Chain A
Amino acid sequence: MSALAQERALGDWLAKGLRCIGQIAIQSGDDGGFVLRHREDRERTGLVVSQRADDAAELARFDDAGNYRPLKTAPTLRHGWKLRLANLAELRLALDLFYPGRLAMFAAFEKDELVTTPLRDTLGRQTGMYRIAAQIREDQTDELVGRFCASNGGCLRTIQWRRDAAGTVPSTQLPPDKFDPRHDQTGGAEPVVPLLCQEACNLLVAEARTVVQANR
């Protein structure tokens, strides 16, 4: 089986010097393998070593305080670990567990195939308990997205969707670089594989529902 397109793309990004993704630093080994660790742990010793790509699921599941991380792109990745991976295929699997789906979004973006969905379309599509989320007002949306999606404390994704079909900015409370794929959302100012957000996540939809309910 030939290497999947995703692995080829990942190899290209590494060759271009994109050595960080979210809060993770990617280090290449001499043996064709890779070592992942928290970017803030690069100078740290005594890290607990894991060897399997699937171990990434467990490393990504809880934060430093042991709290469950429902949003994997939240800036709450735990510290103190080092993950050794044998090859590019393993690296792809691990990164897909740390930041699910994000490699595919960047690959689609690079090929100009990333179709984004306006927030109003996402909300308007909902059924069942989330149907009322579409009733959120514009000022409430501006506040919610500005708070919930902020890189500092909310989410490290780079927003690519717009608020509506007219192209309204998702939130006036977010800085312009929140929408720039070249920007390192951690504030580290390093070349990154961006965590592109092509459509509002279910957590944001759920929060919109909560805002609407609170105003009833």
Chain B
Amino acid sequence: MPSDSSSALLIVGHGSTVNPASSAPTLMHAATIRGRGIFADVACCFWKEEPSLRDALFFFRDPGIREVYVVPNFISEGYFTRTVIPRELELAGAETERPNGQLWKYCDPVGAHESMTGHLLERARAIAPGVDESTATLLIVAHGTSLNDNSAVAAKEQAEKIRALERYAAVLNVYMEEPPQVSDWVNLTKTQNVVVVPFFISDGLHSYEDIPALLGIENASTGGESRAHELQGRTLFYSTAIGTDSRFADVIIEQANSFDQRKQVLQSAS
């Protein structure tokens, strides 16, 4: 459990040089967590924006800060969490001791947290109020394998978990760039109501334009709202990216907590 006087939090986001909405959720979650006073300091850093991951090496120089929890605000383990972040932050493994004795703890990405299934379910319910889940299909949308990440695998795992709950008539993982493709939703689904939740960290071109276009939505909302669309005789409910959910702040804190809990389990087992 992080201690408020000696622990800091570094949230690592991807960021974008073209999409102004990319870093917004990460900054919002940081502000939320900062306001709770759990950590002595809370900072963000980004691969494609400022401050950079390299800048973050110079943060937290207050001698009172003995531990820094590094939480990737990413959907899945992959190229960024395994290669880019450790390289840029000079992390030697799960724990890295700096020359001043400060310990940097590399936590799991937010999308890997066990609560993610619940967040996806809650988001799906929130955007389709009054819809009987047992007669609806839930689509979890990820990018697909063209990117060097495992978001496609993560979406598949989430779909399997939700399917096992047997709440929805059907639960499918669909992708932008590989089968089963989101553009084929009419053939993939059989129910009148179809609920679509993008399994992305932030809203951007994918969730505002690309996925709506693949679904056939002509005027997708860009105001953060979710609404129903009548398409091909069906009712389609389309959500904003799951990572914009304000409760992701809790998930970030949880990932920091999980790091120490996991370490305790490992120590007691050895």
Interface residues of A (CB under 8 A from B): 1-2, 4-6, 54, 57, 61-62, 68, 70-73, 93, 96-97, 99-101, 104-105, 107-108, 111, 113-114, 117, 125, 127-128, 198-199, 201-203, 206
> Is there contact, CB below 8 Å, between B55 and A70?
no
Which residues of chain A have C-beta atoms less than 8 A from B36's C-beta? none
From the candidates B19, B24, B58, B79, name the one contacting A101 in the complex (CB within 8 A): B58
User: Does B244 interact with chain A (Cβ within 8 Å)?
Assistant: no
> Is there contact, CB below 8 Å, between A5 and B63?
yes
A61's closest neighbor in chain B, by CB? Answer: B20
Nearest CB of B to A55, in Å: 11
> Is there contact, CB below 8 Å, between A100 and B50?
yes
Nearest CB of A to B31, in Å: 5
Question: How many angstroms from the CA of A134 to the CA of B58 in the assembled complex?
Answer: 25
User: Does B47 interact with chain A (Cβ within 8 Å)?
Assistant: yes
User: Does B177 interact with chain A (Cβ within 8 Å)?
Assistant: no
Which residues of chain B have C-beta atoms less than 8 A from A199's C-beta? 52, 54
From the candidates A68, A201, A206, name the one contacting B20 in the complex (CB within 8 A): A68
Nearest CB of B to A83, in Å: 15
Which residues of chain A have C-beta atoms less than 8 A from B52's C-beta? 101, 199, 201-202
Question: Interface 1/0s, chain B 1-13, versus A by CB < 8 A?
Answer: 0001100000000
Which residues of chain B have C-beta atoms less than 8 A from A202's C-beta? 17, 47-48, 52
> Is there contact, CB below 8 Å, between B63 and A127?
no
User: Does B62 interact with chain A (Cβ within 8 Å)?
Assistant: yes
Question: How many angstroms from the CA of A105 to the CA of B4 in the assembled complex?
Answer: 24
Given contacts A4-B41, A71-B50, contact A105 B83 (CB under 8 A): no
Beyond A104-B55, A107-B61, A128-B148, list 20 extra A-B contacts (CB 8 Å). A1-B4, A2-B64, A4-B40, A5-B62, A54-B31, A62-B20, A70-B16, A70-B18, A70-B48, A70-B49, A72-B50, A96-B43, A100-B55, A104-B58, A104-B61, A107-B58, A111-B61, A113-B61, A198-B58, A202-B48
Which residues of chain A have C-beta atoms less than 8 A from B17's C-beta? 70, 202-203, 206
Which residues of chain B have C-beta atoms less than 8 A from A114's C-beta? 58
Which residues of chain B have C-beta atoms less than 8 A from A104's C-beta? 51, 55, 58-59, 61
For chain B, the count of residues having a C-beta within 8 Å of the partner chain is 37
Which residues of chain A have C-beta atoms less than 8 A from B40's C-beta? 1, 4
Which residues of chain B have C-beta atoms less than 8 A from A93's C-beta? 34
> Is there contact, CB below 8 Å, between A127 and B50?
no
Which residues of chain B have C-beta atoms less than 8 A from A1's C-beta? 4-5, 37, 40
> Is there contact, CB below 8 Å, between B59 and A73?
no
B57's closest neighbor in chain A, by CB? Answer: A115
Question: How many angstroms from the CA of A199 to the CA of B53 in the assembled complex?
Answer: 11
Question: How many angstroms from the CA of A105 to the CA of B64 in the assembled complex?
Answer: 19
Which residues of chain B have C-beta atoms less than 8 A from A100's C-beta? 44, 49-51, 55
Nearest CB of A to B261, in Å: 24
User: Does B27 interact with chain A (Cβ within 8 Å)?
Assistant: yes
User: Does B84 interact with chain A (Cβ within 8 Å)?
Assistant: yes
> Is there contact, CB below 8 Å, between B62 and A57?
no
B51's closest neighbor in chain A, by CB? Answer: A101
Question: Would you mind naming 22 contact pairs between A and B with Cβ atoms under 8 Å apart?
Answer: A1-B37, A2-B64, A4-B40, A57-B24, A68-B18, A70-B49, A96-B43, A101-B45, A101-B51, A101-B58, A104-B55, A107-B58, A108-B58, A113-B61, A114-B58, A127-B84, A128-B83, A128-B84, A198-B54, A198-B55, A198-B58, A201-B52
> Is there contact, CB below 8 Å, between B27 and A57?
yes
Which residues of chain A have C-beta atoms less than 8 A from B24's C-beta? 57
Which residues of chain A have C-beta atoms less than 8 A from B48's C-beta? 70, 202
Nearest CB of A to B59, in Å: 5
Which residues of chain A have C-beta atoms less than 8 A from B16's C-beta? 70
Question: How many angstroms from the CA of A128 to the CA of B88 in the assembled complex?
Answer: 14
Question: How many angstroms from the CA of A125 to the CA of B83 in the assembled complex?
Answer: 11
Which residues of chain A have C-beta atoms less than 8 A from B121's C-beta? none
